[in-house]
């Protein structure tokens, strides 16, 4: 008996030293709380007490009484650990419901770290839980120190699983790129399939190509894809933004100049045609060329020779010409702004790039592609764009086309604080979509569900997609609003 107090104190001290060592090893030099925990249990007192305690140790602790809300919650938030009760009001001690929801959680997120909780300790149940994918198993009432140690351990396991999944996805991404002939061009819509077919026929030839499309549709991306798939791919791809060149510099930049040809010509300089020898020359916004320069360009293309400014000696050239414009070339020819003979020379093959609003099914593909690109570039742990955000993105008009989408995803990744991008992480400019509701339509013309759908959309627009603020305005819980967003496809 005399040794009992000493033994007890020694074991208690050992436990606390072990716990502190574990926490320090896991947290390292972090001064701020981290980790997002979801607790699902039908006992409201337990939920409130657990949240009060765990909020001192973790960045975010969400509680939920109704297990039916689990799918919506984990689709819209990346939790590091999910604490799941094994027995809800329908059942008492079998753990059936806990195993049911464990399966559904892992089906949605295979990397989820789930700690099952129950007041009925059973070794066989614990073993089964681990076999079916649970990370750990704790009993109610729990010891706070042991609970924290269990949660931190589960967080580490979740991070490891995420890293493995990310590596696998990167390997798939790189393999897909390696297997794709036009890896820079992303799309599966009918219009993009048609473009891929055209590229297959055109790339292997030396035919001049004219790419038409609005600003931001990816005209240079298509031009580079043609070059990389051609027999000239080992040589240079030289791009010229015609619109950025002044009239005085245009000839010098395109055709080159001799030393002394003009005041600033201090040495001989080859032009872009010479630099693209044996390769591809891309003239972007070719309709910005003045009529006098158009005549000289036509002569170069017809004679396949170029003469530097200040020289009388012509030099043969071997280039493949790809041009692009966002203007209606036929209208410019009709109005006398563009030479018809030059138009025929540059558009042996025409490729029309559709605006992004006309290929909505490609938006999720593009968005996830840019997500991976910028997550790697900025070393951010962003892995997913949730369904609500993707739905809103597909309904937005994207007046700036792919370039605007790219910038939107880049900004969202930079500003993100979690693993999942949500509607509030994106800035959607004013859209002129004809699909938006007519503000003059009377509400009595709609069914109740239509009215509710319009109201939710208006409130979301008011708060720039912020779910919490929109839910407060509508008098709904976040879970209720998420259910309606899924219901109406918003």
Site of tokens 């759908």: 453
d(CA 120, CA 86): 9
According to CATH, the superfamily of the domain at 27-155 is Response regulator (3.40.50.2300)
Q: Is the pLDDT of residue 30 over 60?
A: no
d(CA 352, CA 114): 50
181 or 55, greater pLDDT: 55
In this prediction, residue 159 carries a pLDDT of 85
Which of 32-46, 86-100, 183-197, 291-305 tops mean pLDDT?
A: 291-305
Tell me the pLDDT tens digit for each residue of 358-379: 999 999 999 999 999 999 989 8
383 or 245, greater pLDDT: 383
Report which of 54, 80, 84, 60 is spatially closest to residue 70, judged by C-alpha positions.
Answer: 84
Tell me the pLDDT tens digit for each residue of 303-358: 999 999 888 888 899 999 999 999 999 999 999 999 999 999 999 999 999 999 99
Report which of 417, 428, 423, 436 is spatially closest to residue 478, judged by C-alpha positions.
Answer: 423
| Furthest-apart CA atoms within the chain: distance in Å | 112
Domain spanning 357-488: CATH 1.10.8.60 = yes
In this prediction, residue 182 carries a pLDDT of 55
8 Å CB contact between 280 and 319: yes
- Residue 34 tokens read as 């981290």
Q: Residue 45's pLDDT band (boundaries 50, 70, 90)?
A: confident
Q: Which range, of 267-271, 284-288, 312-316, 462-466, averages the lowest pLDDT?
A: 462-466
d(CA 295, CA 86): 80
Strand order from edge to edge, sheet including 349-352 = 237-241, 280-284, 320-325, 209-212, 349-352
Helix, strand or coil for residue 193?
helix
Q: Is the pLDDT of residue 24 over 50?
A: no
d(CA 304, CA 319): 9
In this prediction, residue 436 carries a pLDDT of 45
Q: Residue 29's pLDDT band (boundaries 50, 70, 90)?
A: very low
Report which of 246, 315, 255, 328 is spatially closest to residue 287, judged by C-alpha positions.
Answer: 328
Angle (CA) 384-388-389 rounded to 5° is 60
Helix, strand or coil for residue 420?
strand
Q: Exposed (0-12), middle (13-18) or buried (19+): which is 312, by Cβ within 10 Å?
A: exposed
Q: What is the mean pLDDT of the chain?
A: 82
In this prediction, residue 86 carries a pLDDT of 83
In this prediction, residue 3 carries a pLDDT of 35
- Residue 30 tokens read as 């972090």
d(CA 241, CA 317): 20
d(CA 421, CA 416): 7
In this prediction, residue 28 carries a pLDDT of 43
Equal CATH topology for 190-354 and 357-488: no
Our separate counts of H helices and E strands in the chain read 19, 16
Please state the pTM of the whole predicted model. Answer: 0.61
Torsion of CA 247, 253, 258, 261, to 10 degrees: 20
Mean pLDDT of 59-83: 90
In this prediction, residue 447 carries a pLDDT of 56
Which of 137-146, 348-357, 422-431 tops mean pLDDT?
A: 348-357
Percent of the chain with pLDDT over 90: 43
Mean pLDDT of 382-386: 91
Site of tokens 């059973």: 122
HSE-up (13 A, CA, CB side) for residue 331? 4
Q: Residue 449's pLDDT band (boundaries 50, 70, 90)?
A: low
In this prediction, residue 471 carries a pLDDT of 78
8 Å CB contact between 353 and 216: no
Task: Compute the Cα dihedral for 383, 389, 391, 397 and give only its sign.
Answer: negative
- Residue 245 tokens read as 């060149």
Domain ranges, ordered by start, for the chain: 27-155, 190-354, 357-488
Q: Which range, of 232-236, 329-333, 408-412, 480-484, averages the lowest pLDDT?
A: 480-484
Q: What are phi and psi of 210, to 5 degrees?
A: -115, 120
Torsion of CA 145, 150, 155, 156, to 10 degrees: 100
Helix, strand or coil for residue 390?
helix
Output the 3-class SS for 196-221: HHHHHHHCCCCCCEEEECCCCCCHHH
Q: Is the pLDDT of residue 249 over 50?
A: yes
Domain spanning 190-354: CATH 3.40.50.2300 = no
Q: Is the pLDDT of residue 14 over 90?
A: no
d(CA 239, CA 219): 12
């Amino acid at each position: 008996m005399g040794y009992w107090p000493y033994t007890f104190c020694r074991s208690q001290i050992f436990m606390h030293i072990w716990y502190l060592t574990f926490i320090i090893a896991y947290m390292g030099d972090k001064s701020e709380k981290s980790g997002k925990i979801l607790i699902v249990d039908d006992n409201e007192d337990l939920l409130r007490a657990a949240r009060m305690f765990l909020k001192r140790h973790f960045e975010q602790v969400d509680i939920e009484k109704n297990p039916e809300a689990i799918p919506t919650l984990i689709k819209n938030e990346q939790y590091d650990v999910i604490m799941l009760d094994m027995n809800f009001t329908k059942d008492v001690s079998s753990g059936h419901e806990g195993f049911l929801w464990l399966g559904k959680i892992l089906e949605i997120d295979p990397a989820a770290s789930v700690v099952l909780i129950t007041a009925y300790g059973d070794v066989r149940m614990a073993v089964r839980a681990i076999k079916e994918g649970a990370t750990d198993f704790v009993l109610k009432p729990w010891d706070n120190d042991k609970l924290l140690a269990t949660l931190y351990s589960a967080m580490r396991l979740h991070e490891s699983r995420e890293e493995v999944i990310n590596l696998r996805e990167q390997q798939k991404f790189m393999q897909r790129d390696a297997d794709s002939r036009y890896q820079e061009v992303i799309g599966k819509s009918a219009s993009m399939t048609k473009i891929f077919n055209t590229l297959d026929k055109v790339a292997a030839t030396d035919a001049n190509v004219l790419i038409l499309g609005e600003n931001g549709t990816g005209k240079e991306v298509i031009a580079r894809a043609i070059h990389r798939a051609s027999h000239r791919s080992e040589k240079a791809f030289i791009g010229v933004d015609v619109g950025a060149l002044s009239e005085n510099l245009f000839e010098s930049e395109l055709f080159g100049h001799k030393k002394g040809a003009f005041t600033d010509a201090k040495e001989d300089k080859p032009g872009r045609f010479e630099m693209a020898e044996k390769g591809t020359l891309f003239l972007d916004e070719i309709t910005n060329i003045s009529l006098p320069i158009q005549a000289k360009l036509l002569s170069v293309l017809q004679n396949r020779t170029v003469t530097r400014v200040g020289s009388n000696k012509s030099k043969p050239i071997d280039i493949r010409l790809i041009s692009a414009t966002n203007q209606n070339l036929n209208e410019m020819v009709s109005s006398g702004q563009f030479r018809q003979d030059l138009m025929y020379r540059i558009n042996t093959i025409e490729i029309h790039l559709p605006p992004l609003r006309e290929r909505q099914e490609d938006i999720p593909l593009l968005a996830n592609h840019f997500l991976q690109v910028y997550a790697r570039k900025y070393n951010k742990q962003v892995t997913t764009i949730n369904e609500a955000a993707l739905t809103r993105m597909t309904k937005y008009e994207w007046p700036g086309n792919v370039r605007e989408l790219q910038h939107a995803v880049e900004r969202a990744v930079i500003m993100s604080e979690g693993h999942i991008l949500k509607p509030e992480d994106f800035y959607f400019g004013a859209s002129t979509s004809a699909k938006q509701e007519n503000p003059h339509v009377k509400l009595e013309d709609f069914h109740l569900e239509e009215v509710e759908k319009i109201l939710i959309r208006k409130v979301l627009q008011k708060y720039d997609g912020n779910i919490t603020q929109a839910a407060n305005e509508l008098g709904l819980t976040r879970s209720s609003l998420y259910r309606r967003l899924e219901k109406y496809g918003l």
